[in-house]
Amino acid sequence: MTGEVKLQTALVTGAGQGLGFHIAKSLKLAGYQLVVTDRDPIAAENAAMQLDASGETVLSLSLDIANKSDFELALEKTIKRFGSLQVLVNNASITRATPVMEISPEEFNEVVNVNLGGTFFGCQVIGAYFAEQGYGRIVNMASLAGQNGGTSTGAHYAASKGAIITVTKVFAKELASKGVTVNAVAPGPIESPMVSALVPEERLATLLDAIPVGELGDADFIGDVVVQFARPEAYFTTGTTWDVNGGLFMR
């Protein structure tokens, strides 16, 4: 008789809605136990209920990625509930579309501290735990904006997402020998609440005309890409960025 197969657990930040929820859903469908986190605890709880009404395989937590201590507490609660953690998806971020010459120091610091700082602290805190365990998968959400300077998004958002690609490489080098991989996904315009908020209906046709494939991306497919990076078999892929942008940016 074979021994019991232990389920792997994945923690997704910013999973209360939008792309983060789709990523969490894809991981759930792939058989992972989930820790659904969001700065809004009610959003996290509602998302968790949608993913597993019984609550047996999903834990919801409040987590503000700008606070390193929130990651430490989330890790502690995850281990207490599920015994271990194998996958981290650094998805949470904030978006501002303020014109570059009008960005205040306060707004710049807020966007960079949350987007870049939150990803950095997630990699640092959870990455250290993974290194101790000798295994882990980290997936960071970058963006097309971080590669082409952005179009509908602000300069501070684009800069923070570009820096996430670099941070991914930094932690990939640091953790590779410990059995931990660190990769990024860089989506272009996706059918999501964020794109709807940034692109008014009257500008949507212009945006679609600019995309070589002629349509917005699919959020569930982004979730499937994350699942591929999260698999144990992905051990030979680290420090990479997977572009999903309809041909807007080609290497």
Q: List, by residue number, the catalytic residues.
A: 157
- Provide the residue count of the chain: 251
Other Cβ atoms less than 10 A from the Cβ of 97: the count is: 14
Cα 117 to the chain's mean position, in Å? 13
Among 115, 59, 110, 104, which residue's Cα sits nearest to residue 83?
Answer: 59
Sign of CA dihedral 18, 101, 106, 75: positive
